[in-house]
Structure 1
Amino acid sequence: MSHTQTVELVPNQGWDERILVCRNGKLVDVFIIITERYVVLVDTLINGATAEKLMQFAKPHLVNGRSLLVINSHADYDHAWGNQLFAGPNAPYPAPIIAHERCAEEFAVWAADLVTMRDKEPDVFGDVVLTPPTLLFNGRFTIHGGDLTLQLIPTFGHTRDHVSVYIPEIRTLLAADAAEQPYPMPRHPSGMGDMRQSLAQLAALEAETVLYCHAPVTIGGKLLHDNIAYFDALETACRRALAAGILPETLSDDDDLAALVGCTFAQAMPPNFDPATVHPYYAGKGHNGQIRAMVEWLLEIGD
């Protein structure tokens, strides 16, 4: 997949005007939160150039004594590779970068990927300097912005370091990658349980506005419940297959696991879901990968 360095402001479609949604092509949405005390960037996009464009949307609001803060929802490249603009000796916009304590560890995992991505797209990733967050927390973290309170909630599963942001005064949830269209993906089998727990935790907030990094801005809280239903369907099918003893000892994403367990992508998705709205990967190899992760998780917990 080739990357674009365009960043556009998404027109407000009913959410609080203090939330700005900024879009990097078809890759990712990130957010700017404007409070009385702070301008808060939630993620920094894919490189310094896209982070700079993000700052152009933020700068007009850095008035009346507001300070700049940055949050990394997690360490993935499309969320945190613009960090170099905010930390380090040459940072043009010095600001605290807040993240879960595991986020700094996850940055090290990306070093090899950066080399590969530089080789493929040097104009996009050639100047990236992996810059870990500077203010780390464990448990929850709260930012008192004056008029708005930002509650940083660990929502592990997709990654070990993932956090979402809830703003109770306006009942707005920035789920980041804890939920996605058509589904979030755990990086390791044990992440399956964490991810489903995170989805349930976010759904229980009953937020009026829910925004995601990889989903339409108008889908709202329905996506949380759709994701929950998807994994519930997979669990039911996988439990049935395990009980029947019909699965091979070694599973591969290339196997037709959907046929083996009797749960196709279409069967697991909501009835009105249009598969044309997502990349074919999700209905094929991605769905098989989710089934494999579910089976491995069920075997791990021994339930």
Structure 2
Amino acid sequence: MPHTNEVDLLENQGWDERILVCRNGQLVKTFIVVTDRCVVLVDSLINAKTASRMLDYARPYLAGTRALVVVNTHADYDHAWGNQLFAGPVASHPAPIIGSQRCAEELRSSGSATYLQEMRDREPEIFAGVQLVEPTICFEEGLTIGGGDLTLQLFATPGHTPDHIALYIPEIETLLAADGAELPYPAARAVDGLPAMRASLARMAALQPKVTLYCHAPVTIGPQLLHDNIAYFDALERHCRAALARGVPARPDQDADVIDLVGCRYEDVTPAGPMWEEVHEHYRTQGHAEQLRMMLAWLADAK
């Protein structure tokens, strides 16, 4: 999927009017939270141009004494590569950027620099001008932004990535789950990320939010997606435990059909309905198989 610098403001579908939802093409959604004291941009998108477009949507609310604040939910390119607009040597709209300590470390890493170069080579018209800028205010487990009328509680939700955070706004019982939950499922990238991700899903679900918004799911899907994601991984665990008991290896060969080995198809462990059936084929096949591989390995290692 080619990237775009276009950013749209989505029509409110019933959530609190102080939350604006932006969408960068078909890639990702980000959020603007307007409080009495500050306007908070939740993530900065893929480059300075998309961050600037997001700022344009926030600008009408920055009149008076409201301060601009930026939050990075994690260091992935579609969430933090617009940071240079707000901090660093070329910042044109200086603002504090809040993120986890792990997020800052990831943006400083050689892996992030290598990936940026790959993206520049692939799509220079989108990524040539990107400079990696880390958060300027970091925390470990939690941080609270007191906006006056609204309180933004930032808390660690590792799993999808080690640096991931989510935001809860108790006054309006609204959770911004970022990539901590997704349609059809959040993907752990390493075996040790799997239990952390499941714990993070449980922590978010325990808040019992009335409204939940995600970076990679329809705005109308609601808090039920948290429970559907939990049920997905619970079902994977059941199938993988049974497979291991039958003698399926904990680490099947790379060319093995893990879905067939375990006997766990995507459609067996996800809800019925168009939203689930129309996801990209990757999530039904390769992505699903990757989660099964990690579950097998984790169960074997946990013995």
Q: Classify the TM-score, shorter chain.
A: over 0.9
Q: Secondary structure at the match of 2:177?
A: strand
Among 191, 199, 202, the residue aligned to 2:201: 199
RMSD across aligned C-alpha pairs, in angstroms? Answer: 1.1
Closer, same or farther: CA 246–300 of 1 in aligned 2, 3 Å: closer
Residue 185 in structure 1 maps to residue 181 in structure 2: no
Whether the aligned pair in 1 keeps the contact of 2:10 and 2:21 (CA below 8 Å) is: yes
Q: Secondary structure at the match of 1:152?
A: strand
How many angstroms apart in 1 are the aligned matches of 2:204 and 2:277? 27
Q: Which amino acid aligns with 1:256?
A: D
Aligned residue in 2 for 1:243: 245
Give the alignment of 1:48-197 within 5 angstroms.
48-107=48-107, 108=109, 109-197=111-199
How many angstroms does 1:300 deviate by?
2.1
How many angstroms apart in 2 are the aligned matches of 1:196 and 1:299? 17
Whether the aligned pair in 2 keeps the contact of 1:103 and 1:132 (CA below 8 Å) is: yes
Aligned residue in 1 for 2:10: 10
How many angstroms does 1:187 deviate by?
1.5
**What TM-score do the two structures reach when normalised by structure 1?**
0.97
How many angstroms apart in 2 are the aligned matches of 1:17 and 1:139? 28
Whether the aligned pair in 2 keeps the contact of 1:247 and 1:260 (CA below 8 Å) is: no
How many angstroms apart in 2 are the aligned matches of 1:221 and 1:266? 21
How many angstroms apart in 1 are the aligned matches of 2:29 and 2:206? 23
Aligned residue in 1 for 2:30: 30
Aligned residue in 1 for 2:264: 263
Whether the aligned pair in 2 keeps the contact of 1:275 and 1:283 (CA below 8 Å) is: no
Closer, same or farther: CA 298–264 of 1 in aligned 2, 3 Å: same
Closer, same or farther: CA 103–248 of 1 in aligned 2, 3 Å: closer
- Percent of matched pairs sharing the same residue: 56
How many angstroms apart in 2 are the aligned matches of 1:82 and 1:91? 10
**What TM-score do the two structures reach when normalised by structure 2?**
0.97
How many angstroms apart in 2 are the aligned matches of 1:118 and 1:246? 42
How many angstroms apart in 2 are the aligned matches of 1:7 and 1:271? 31
Whether the aligned pair in 1 keeps the contact of 2:45 and 2:77 (CA below 8 Å) is: yes
Closer, same or farther: CA 20–293 of 1 in aligned 2, 3 Å: same
Q: Which runs of 5+ in 1 are unaligned?
A: none
Aligned residue in 1 for 2:41: 41
How many angstroms does 1:301 deviate by?
1.6
Q: Which runs of 5+ in 2 are unaligned?
A: none
